[in-house]
């Protein structure tokens, strides 16, 4: 993607923007995949654009386990901030009853070594011809602890 950069702190005429740029390897027979580079998260655990890696393995026909790590990217005009990083795991279950998919995840994000976001959650998806329903429930353990 190309866009004109009009931000005053950047040099005039800069027009480079990298929205997505990644390499992906998949072995459907062995049941694994790995993706490395700039990518966009599309689930409750991975939000927004990030530079990093995600990989998964199809453990059973209806269960895939995944792991991911990387650096969030606030603007596609800039590189990642190495002071901010995240790591997480997820499990994808489905399709059940020809309509339901479930994802369960845990993610930890740090900023300069301090916890920025911790979350565990689930994402539920229902698909039928003409009907799509998606629900996400996330709990942040850091905000649900009892203070003494």
Q: Which residue has the tokens 């997820």?
A: 90
Rounded CA-CA distance 101/80 in Å is 32
Beta bridge partners of 22: 37
Q: Is the Cβ–Cβ distance between 104 and 81 less than 8 Å?
A: no
Spatial distance between the Cα atoms of 132 and 80, rounded to a whole number of angstroms: 34
Measured CA to CA, the distance from residue 40 to residue 105 in angstroms comes to: 17
Q: Tell me: the pLDDT tens digits for 62-107?
A: 999 999 999 988 888 877 778 899 999 999 999 999 999 999 999 9
| pTM across the whole model | 0.77
Q: What is the pLDDT of residues 29-64, one digit of tens each?
A: 999 999 999 998 877 677 788 999 999 999 999 999
């Amino acid at each position: 993607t190309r866009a004109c950069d009009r931000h005053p702190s950047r040099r005039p005429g800069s027009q480079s923007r990298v929205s997505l740029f990644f390499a992906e390897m998949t072995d459907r027979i062995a049941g694994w995949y790995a993706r490395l580079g700039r990518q966009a998260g599309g689930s409750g655990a991975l939000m927004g654009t990030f530079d990093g890696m995600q990989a998964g393995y199809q453990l059973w026909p209806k269960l895939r386990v995944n792991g991911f790590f990387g650096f969030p990217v606030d603007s596609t005009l800039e590189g990642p901030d190495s002071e901010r990083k995240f790591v997480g795991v997820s499990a994808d279950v489905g399709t059940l009853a020809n309509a339901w998919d479930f994802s369960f995840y845990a993610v930890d994000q740090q900023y300069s070594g301090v916890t920025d976001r911790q979350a565990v959650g689930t994402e539920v998806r229902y698909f039928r011809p003409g009907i799509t329903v998606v629900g996400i429930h996330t709990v942040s353990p850091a905000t649900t602890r009892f203070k003494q």
